[in-house]
Amino acid sequence: MDSFDYIIVGGGTAGCVLANRLTASGKHRVLMLEAGGEPNGMWIPIPAGFSKLLTNRKYNWRFETTPEANTNNRVIAVPRGKGLGGSTLINGMVYVRGQPQDYDAWRDGGARGWGYADVEPYFRRLERYAPGGAFRGTDGPMNLEQVGERFPIAEGFLHAAMQDGHALIDDYNGSNQEGFGYYQVCQRNGRRWSAYDAYLAPARTRENLAIATHVQVTSLELEGSRCVGVTYREGGRDVMVRANVEVILAAGAIQSPQLLELSGIGQPELLQSVGIPVRHALKGVGENYIDHFATRMNWRVKNTVTLNEMSRGWRLVREVMNYYTRRKGILTLGTGLVHGFVKSQPDTATPDAQYFFVHASYANAAERILDRKPGMTIGVTQLRPESLGSIHVRSRDQLMGPAIRPNFLDSPVDQLCMIRSMQLARRIVNQPAMRPYIDFEMNPGEGVSSDEDWLSFARQNGQSIYHPIGTCRMGEDDSAVVDLRLKLRGLAGLRVVDASVMPKMVSGNIQAAVMMTAERGADLILEDARC
């Protein structure tokens, strides 16, 4: 039986960071286990390729929610990355740290040592942001660039935001998030820059790092109150491998709690109901599921050319040539072009809503098929939702996906924030700077005016924007799953280091926060190894 010092379960965002940092000294033998394969798809390095990858089963687990009344019993897609690099292979590449108050809320809620002053150095460590600034890192592994393309309608939208009283800001990851501007993205020279590119690729030549792909971890192996290794399935056979120091779960907010429950770690009644023997009772596993819920408001536009037309025919040929010769043009674009971080109501202390503006609209959003006529979209999301959901196994079958119940729009606070944020977006678009471009509002349409209408639109049309967190929450209370050093409570030899440990949502896309968590988690692991 093989053994390693550390076994990392999952080769996604956090796993790539951990693999790099834990092997850097050469002292520790590390095994990474990943269910997917190598990140060699043709669409992965092309930023605009995200639209192809979000429906590609080779690189996407394609999870779905359980129908819920709050969202009119619709099934909502929950894409998660599959392969070395995880969700950074298929996401929109948007980089947002969040607000300092987010991490201070973690600290004040019981995650001592995870306040903004504690975590800010780790953001600096991971960043390579060329413009720099007093608050930014410039020599880290994760290359960051501001979206480089400029379009008249986007400039018009920024002017409309100013006409509505909002500020333009250069760096929403600096001292102040509030305002409008162009997004920062994880790219390098017009190409996607994933966690694989930043962290794992440079570490693969190290002799103390082993990587196994296309292997499905099916259980954590326990001896008494200690996790001693894992069993994984490879080519129809089960293989057990031992961890001399620790097993580190980095499978994400969906699959980390799923694997815990499949291994008999979780709520006893739930485990027994699906025939899983209880090995370690821990009531918080799979609870505290939080995700960003977003609506898409669309307008038919005029007097400009949008991505809808630019992605077809001779214009597309021109854009392909532009990309491959200059690394410029629409193929460098991800999910967001222009950002807005706004207060949905005047008395809100800090921004509580985020906008994603792009001059494109979908004929079929689920399949990422663009309209043929010119259009634009503003994605509207609440930054810090209060609604809490859950994720739990439905069977002892390791290959069956779990039941995901996000409980979107359960909280009246969430409902009001979404309503006011959509109304504000409409108000901005109705400013004089946008009048030359707007033909008419397609969705929700001018007929939607009352709060009840807006909420009904959100329930019927809103989607996840793929930021699940919290299902193995850190803390010191009885419902916490891991302690403040990310060790599983009550079991030795097992940690969780990924989005699932985040106790509350951060104000924006979560990729930055996940990488920060993994950077800090790696330091905690190495500190304990020296003790």
**Does one domain contain both 279 and 330?**
no
Residue 134's domain spans which residues? 1-142+191-291+386-406+468-531
Q: Residue 403 pairs with which residues in a beta bridge?
A: 392
Q: What pLDDT score was predicted for residue 166?
A: 98
Are β-strands 280-281 and 265-266 bridged in parallel, bridged antiparallel, or unpaired? Answer: parallel
Is 296 strand, coil or helix?
strand
Express each pLDDT in 211-251 by its tens digit: 999 999 999 999 999 999 999 999 889 999 999 999 999 99
Residue 270's contacts (CB-CB under 8 Å, 6 or more residues apart) are 261, 286, 392, 393
User: Are residue 175 and residue 204 in the same domain, yes or no?
Assistant: no
Q: Report phi then psi at 34, rounded to 5.
A: -135, 130
Q: Are residues 138 and 160 in the same domain?
A: no
Which residues, other chains included, contact 132 with Cβ-Cβ below 8 Å and sequence gap of 6+?
138
What is the mean predicted confidence (pLDDT) over 97-103?
Answer: 98
273 in the same domain as 262 = yes
Tens-place pLDDT, residues 43-55: 999 999 998 898 8
Q: Answer yes or no: do 355 and 414 share one domain.
A: yes
Can you give the CATH number for the domain in which 243 is found?
A: 3.50.50.60
The residue from 418, 436, 461 where one domain ends is 461
Separate counts of helices (H) and strands (E) for the chain = 14, 27
Question: Per residue, what are the HEC states of 444-499?
Answer: CCCCCCCHHHHHHHHHHHCEECCCCECCCCECCCCCCCECCCCEECCCECEEECCH
Residues 76 and 134 in one domain: yes
364 has a pLDDT exceeding 70: no
Q: Which of 520, 527, 516, 471 is nearest to 100 (CA)?
A: 516
Mean pLDDT, residues 340-356: 97
* Model pLDDT for residues 488-499, shown as the tens digit of each residue: 999 999 999 999
- % of the chain residues with pLDDT over 90: 94
Provide the pLDDT for residue 370: 87
277-314 per-position pLDDT tens digit: 999 999 999 999 999 999 999 999 999 999 999 999 99
Query: Which of 361-365, 414-418, 476-480, 482-486 is least confident?
Result: 361-365
Domain boundary among 418, 444, 461: 461
Q: Which of 438, 461, 484 is the last residue of a domain?
A: 461
Residue 366 has pLDDT above 80, yes or no: no
Q: Are both 330 and 433 inside the same structural domain?
A: yes
The residue with tokens 């009283």 is 165
Asked if residue 92 and residue 29 are part of one domain, the reply reads: yes
Q: Are 436 and 317 within one domain?
A: yes
Catalytic residue among 292, 339, 359, 467: 467
pLDDT at 365 over 70: no
Q: 349 and 306, same structural domain?
A: yes
What pLDDT score does 358 carry?
A: 97
CA distance 531 to 527: 7
Note the pLDDT of residue 399: 84
SS3 314: helix
pLDDT of residue 17: 98
Same domain, 480 and 427: no
Residues 170 and 107 in one domain: no
- pLDDT value of position 362: 83
Domain count, the chain: 2
Model pLDDT for residues 10-45, shown as the tens digit of each residue? 999 999 999 999 999 999 999 999 999 999 999 999
In this predicted structure, the answer to whether residue 502 has a pLDDT above a threshold of 70 is yes
Q: Stretch 507-524: mean pLDDT, rounded?
A: 98
CATH of the domain at 157: 3.30.410.40
Does the pLDDT value for residue 367 go beyond 90?
A: no
Q: Which residue has the tokens 């007097």?
A: 303
Active site residue 292: no
pLDDT at 1: 64
